[in-house]
Structure 1
Amino acid sequence: MKYERKTKEVKVILGLGNPGRHYYNNRHNFGLMIIDKIADRWGMDFTSTRGSFVYVYSQDASRSPKSLNYEVYFCKPLCYMNNSGVAAKQILKFFGCSPLNLLIVYDDIDLPLGKIRFRRKGSDGGHKGIKSIINFLETIEFPRLRLGIGPQDEGVPSEEFVLSDFRKCELSTLNEVIDLSISSIIDFVNKDILFVMNKYNRINLSLE
């Protein structure tokens, strides 16, 4: 699959989740939640729609950092999690960027809440949203930011657990993870995937 490149390099941040208020606070929507928090803090509104996604441009923000080294777009899918690849493929075509500059932000049941982990590439790890993206982009080589939502409740099927909301007792850690994730995304934009892997993959807020 070939992708057109723009003159100025672009980085795109895509947060995965299911559309609709019913799903918003679900663990499965953690990636989408991060994108919304960035938009809220930077004074950005998702008013631009293109096919299966909505997006904002960082330079249009009223409170965004002035030191971003790339053109940065933040995106949310309008399709359901299992069809995330539809949005990802349209995003690469629309912005003319490489999969290597597309950061996927999503929940990971295998990591505890309080832990985040960057990866350069890899399999879907059982995550259906990532599986869809791999299928549509026909590559496993795109960076990811995995957000821990575990541990899974004993006796609760994974499909049910990921669609549950975060508990009140988890909100303090959740807010810390949101702050950490936003900082890490800024570093990803200004640096590279190896830098953020080395800086953030060892942090575990659940132990603090």
Structure 2
Amino acid sequence: MISSLTGTVSHVGLHSAVLDVSGFGMLVQATPQTLANLRVGNQARVFTALIVREDSMTLFGFSEPEEREVFETLLGVSGVGPRLALAVLAVHTPEAIRVAASSGDDKAFSKVPGIGPKGARRIVLELADKLVPLESGPAATTSNPWQGQVLAAMMGLGWSEKDAGAAIDAAVQDSPEVAAGGNVGSILKLTLRRLGQDGARASVRS
């Protein structure tokens, strides 16, 4: 089993890259996010999953082990092959996939090219007990069940997972009484207000 590759990037394409590893050119299929981090001539490490078929052996590469874990879990869903699993990761972050699966958000999977409403619903049903949001801070503890919903809403508005998570944590620290109420709408407004304030401060500093 090839679990990772470390070598010099010799080629980066739209859907794949080639790493020179001890004299061997290793072709890996990858998401746009992973490929964007690779630069020809630079050293790189990718975490890999090897898919063996009767007529082929294909390596799929990921920038983080979490991406690979979600990819392999998606392969356990009936009707989902490697290409479709990779397409899901091209549209959503691993944490967004976990949130969608655990909250029954089949519309999130319908946004992926090649997945229709029935397929999206099947994915949610089969992943419900296999993928759950990861704990990544005080706002993601089991005492805050609204965390996944607020995070998903923020990402749906265009914020990155990292920025949204940081804003949620900061907003909760500023107004713990709002978080204690557990109202998703109120917490979302509070977080957006916090982001607006941070943006205003950045503008003044510049």
The TM-score range, normalised by the shorter chain, is under 0.3
Larger radius of gyration: 2
| Structure with greater proportional helix content | 2
**Superposition TM-score, scaled by structure 2 size:** 0.27
**Superposition TM-score, scaled by structure 1 size:** 0.27
